[in-house]
Amino acid sequence: MRRRRFLALGAAAGVAAVPGVATATASAATRSPRLLADPSAAGASDSLRDLAARIGLRVGTAVIPFDLDTPAYAAVLANQFSVVTPGNEMKWQVVEPAQGQFDWSGADRLVSFAEQHGQRVRGHTLLWHNQLPDWLTTGVANGTISNSQLMDLLEQHIFTEMGRYRGRIWQWDVANEFFTDSNPSGINPNDFWVSHLGPDVIPRAFRWAHQADPGALLFYNDYNIAGEDGSNAKSDAVYQWLQQMLDQGVPVMGVGNQGHLDTQFGFSGERMTQDLQRYAGLGLKVAITEADVRTFVNNATAQVPTDNLAVFAQPYEFGQMMKACLAVPACISFTVWGFGDADSWIPGFFTGEGYATLYDVNLNPKPAFSELQQDLRLAATGAPRRVHT
């Protein structure tokens, strides 16, 4: 079994109260790959990326450099997806493991792969409480890094990383997971950044990001902000905060809903559609950024669902997320958080759960893949007209 190296996007990311392998065809490297405008365009196929391209949507996945070492995995990545999100390789802990010493090798490799295959890149993530370098958190804890110095280091980090990839990143998750899971929800006062620098650190980060790369789309990204918590409390709080940011001229351009679901909890595709639409009503782009749907399995190796109904629930919930995105014209991308069960972060984080992605542990497409393919095919071509009798 392939190693699991995806790291969770915050422990609370799972709290919700709520085919075969195709051969890759490399296209010419380009910073702005064009979408197919015509369903009959030469080379169009039934891949997720081609079907989505016919309606101006991009379908993506999170990736780690290790994935590229497996030819079959790289082939699926190149053939099925039009957006790449580095799973870990753009996080501060990875790019600057020692102060002033940078390691861009993993991020460079993934960006180069994307450009070679006509894909765009989602940068992930600039401002987050997790996966920070030890030298930074230790320095803050022992007082050798003051709050004023911390602010300067953050500014430097944003300009350094975004400057390296200026003009090559389509979307950046500037700020990630700042809102509480409580009802009512709000910005978490205990967040590492907020506790040291105050909530104004978030709009500062957006302004710096816009200066660093004026052409990039800048996103706020979080989980359970499209009604997955059942109460809509978190969505309400984020919506109100976004209104305030826009009123203040903060360059927030999009909102990403992660879409980490679990079949044991309730989920409303209709509520997700409504929440994505109200974000769009603010003039923002929206995206599903980290979709997966986990369920209970026999073990972490085989990842066979223990409930027979789960094999129907898992693709159903994937399909509900895709339909919500399709229903909102401002939804510009749909990204799954890894596409193979053998490489998923879920079994290592949620005991007894797995089967969360589009491909099984042997890299065979699952019903969830077919569900997304059918949704995109109908969106791209429409239902065939009835034959009158």
127 φ/ψ angles, rounded to the nearest 5 degrees = -130, 105
Going by C-alpha positions, the residue among 27, 20, 74 that lies closest to residue 47 is 20
| Active-site annotation holder among 177, 228, 353, 371 | 177
- Taking the mean position of all CA atoms in its chain, how far away is CA 201? 22
Residue 270 falls in the annotated catalytic set: no
The alpha carbon dihedral of 134, 139, 141, 142 has a sign of: positive
Residue type, 240: Q
- Interhelix angle 201-212/147-164, nearest 10 degrees: 30
| Active-site annotation holder among 89, 228, 290, 371 | 290
> Can you tell me the distance from the alpha carbon of 327 to that of 5, in angstroms, rounded to the nearest whole number?
33
Residue 177 falls in the annotated catalytic set: yes
Are residues 304 and 297 in contact, defined by beta-carbon separation less than 8 angstroms?
yes
Are residues 276 and 228 in contact, defined by beta-carbon separation less than 8 angstroms?
no
DSSP 50-107: HHHHTTT-EEEEEE-GGGGGSHHHHHHHHHH-SEEEESSTTSHHHH-SBTTB---HHH
Residues designated as active site: 177, 290
